[in-house]
Amino acid sequence: MNIKINENFKNISQSYLFSEIARRVSAYSTANPDASIIRLGIGDVTRPLTPSVCAAMQKAVDEMRKPETFRGYSPDYGYDFIREAVARHYAENGITVDPNEIFVSDGAKSDLGNIVDILGDNEILIPDPVYPVYVDSNVMSGHKVSYLPATAENGFLPMPEGLDGEGYVIYMCSPNNPTGAVYSAEALAEWIAFARRTGSLIIFDSAYEAFISGDLPHSIYAVEGARECAIEICSLSKTAGFTGTRCAWTVVPSELEASGLKLRAMWERRQATKFNGVPYIVQRAAEAALSPEGQKECMENVRYYMENARIISEMLKNKGIFFTGGTSSPYIWLKCTDGMSSWEFFDYLLEKANVVGTPGAGFGACGEGFFRLTSFGTKEATAEAVARLEKLL
Ligand code: PLP
């Protein structure tokens, strides 16, 4: 063809991490059709939707059945009822967010990928290792990415020391995928002070906030000054089992402004142009997930997963294998044994224990030599995987 393409795609790593895992698992199971493979790799959930979520969906389906209550296109940013439900969710944690600063979408991944549309060619700071979507979506847009190493030495929580530029776009993920590290209020305050001093923007991914235990901030807006420098993106995927149902939100405070434009207005314009809203049925389901009853049910599922995290952690502790996470995060981040690389360890566990995890190197160069296990499996599968790993490691 004679068309010009987006040449930046040539700079993206060959295959998306989870596609490569799927390829290797599929090759292994084709060669070993009797192997009973346990997947503790991709971060998908296994608990079904909760009763109040399903009841709300069913009620919404009934409404869609009748001409007098049928709904067509939803507002691009979400119905008032869901924007208000999200605002109440923040208010329960003492945080004030106006419903018109909340933009409901079909997933945090979409928002994280799309937010680059409203930003220019800034220097992008991304923790390493982290959820790969931040890097890939910026590379696709031709942006210059610099990495913030997250290592055992800094507790997997990089800080702004040593940064002397300005006008950065800084991605943060807390609790972190994959390391499970969570920023304290004091550490966030330091980042916020840095961002405000240097005119930088923080994009804060709080997709795993429901897994936080103890007195750590669930939202960057729990810390003073964040409204002047941060966008927050959150999701019901892991909290409410919405990985297949799809609902998330992005908060763009009205204080955020650059080059004479309000970022809130820009995001509104971007969504109105390229997004046609979340299905009514899903918005009602999300509203139910955020209700007091829905939250109680969701937290039961969170506890279920955290019990899986506990049994994985216990096994690693008993083996003397270094790991982090598993207390305020569904992920356990462990050091590969015997000096293996991440992908060597992946193949080793796949072949010798038929257990699938995620190679740390897939999350960034600093993830090399590490491995991620998730607690999102069923209790039974997790117990079986732990028994196999106990024997192998
Ligand atoms: N952010 C992080 C850190 C994630 O790990 C994930 C999914 O694994 C997402 C966002 C995507 O969330 P969603 O399912 O809402 O697109």
Given 3-state DSSP classes, what are the helix, strand and coil percentages for the chain, each rounded to the nearest 5?
Answer: 45, 15, 40
- Inter-residue contact 361 to 128 (CB < 8 Å): no
pLDDT digits (tens, 9 = 90+) for 127-161: 999 999 999 999 999 999 999 999 999 999 999 99
Confidence at residue 16, expressed as pLDDT on a 0 to 100 scale:
72
Between the CA of 53 and the centroid of ligand 1 the distance, in Å, is 20
Q: Whose CA is nearest to atom 8 of ligand 1?
A: 43
Mean pLDDT of 276-281: 97
Q: Pick the atom of ligand 1 nearest to 235's CA.
A: 15
- Inter-residue contact 242 to 57 (CB < 8 Å): no
Confidence of residue 19 (pLDDT cuts 50, 70, 90): confident
Q: Pick the atom of ligand 1 nearest to 109's CA.
A: 16
Indicate the average pLDDT of the chain. Answer: 97
Residue whose C-alpha is closest to residue 15's, from 239, 343, 282, 261:
343
Confidence at residue 14, expressed as pLDDT on a 0 to 100 scale:
66
Which SS3 state, helix, strand or coil, does residue 315 take? Answer: helix
Task: Answer yes or no: is the C-beta of 177 below 6 A from any ligand 1 atom.
Answer: yes
Which SS3 state, helix, strand or coil, does residue 347 take? Answer: helix
- Inter-residue contact 177 to 332 (CB < 8 Å): no
Between the CA of 388 and the centroid of ligand 1 the distance, in Å, is 29
Percent of the chain with pLDDT over 90: 97
Question: Is the pLDDT confidence value at 336 over 70?
Answer: yes
Task: Answer yes or no: is the C-beta of 236 below 6 A from any ligand 1 atom.
Answer: no
Cα→Cα distances 264→26, 120, 181, 200, Å? 44, 15, 29, 16
Give the C-alpha separation, 284 to 291, whole Å.
Answer: 11
pLDDT digits (tens, 9 = 90+) for 66-93: 999 999 999 999 999 999 999 999 999 9
Residue whose C-alpha is closest to residue 259's, from 201, 192, 190:
201
Task: Answer yes or no: is the C-beta of 239 below 6 A from any ligand 1 atom.
Answer: no
Q: Whose CA is nearest to atom 1 of ligand 1?
A: 207
Cα→Cα distances 207→58, 240, 260, 264, 321, Å? 26, 11, 30, 20, 27
Give the C-alpha separation, 95 to 364, whole Å.
Answer: 33
Confidence at residue 292, expressed as pLDDT on a 0 to 100 scale:
97
Strand 257-258 and strand 248-251: pairing?
Answer: unpaired
| Angle at alpha carbon of residue 137, lines to 169 and 87, rounded to 5° | 65
Between the CA of 184 and the centroid of ligand 1 the distance, in Å, is 21
Between the CA of 229 and the centroid of ligand 1 the distance, in Å, is 22
Question: Is the pLDDT confidence value at 302 over 80?
Answer: yes
Give the global pTM.
Answer: 0.97
Task: Answer yes or no: is the C-beta of 240 below 6 A from any ligand 1 atom.
Answer: no
Mean pLDDT of 106-114: 98
Task: Answer yes or no: is the C-beta of 108 below 6 A from any ligand 1 atom.
Answer: yes
Confidence of residue 42 (pLDDT cuts 50, 70, 90): confident
Question: Is the pLDDT confidence value at 378 over 80?
Answer: yes
Pocket test for ligand 1, best of 45, 133, 212 (most atoms within 8 A of CB): 133
Question: Is the pLDDT confidence value at 229 over 80?
Answer: yes
| Omega before 217 within 30 of 0, i.e. cis | no
Confidence of residue 41 (pLDDT cuts 50, 70, 90): confident
Question: Is the pLDDT confidence value at 97 over 80?
Answer: yes
Give the C-alpha separation, 151 to 226, whole Å.
Answer: 25
Confidence at residue 15, expressed as pLDDT on a 0 to 100 scale:
66
DSSP state of 238: T
pLDDT digits (tens, 9 = 90+) for 309-319: 999 999 999 99
Q: Pick the atom of ligand 1 nearest to 236's CA.
A: 15
Between the CA of 260 and the centroid of ligand 1 the distance, in Å, is 31
**Number of helices followed by number of strands (H, E) in the chain:** 11, 15
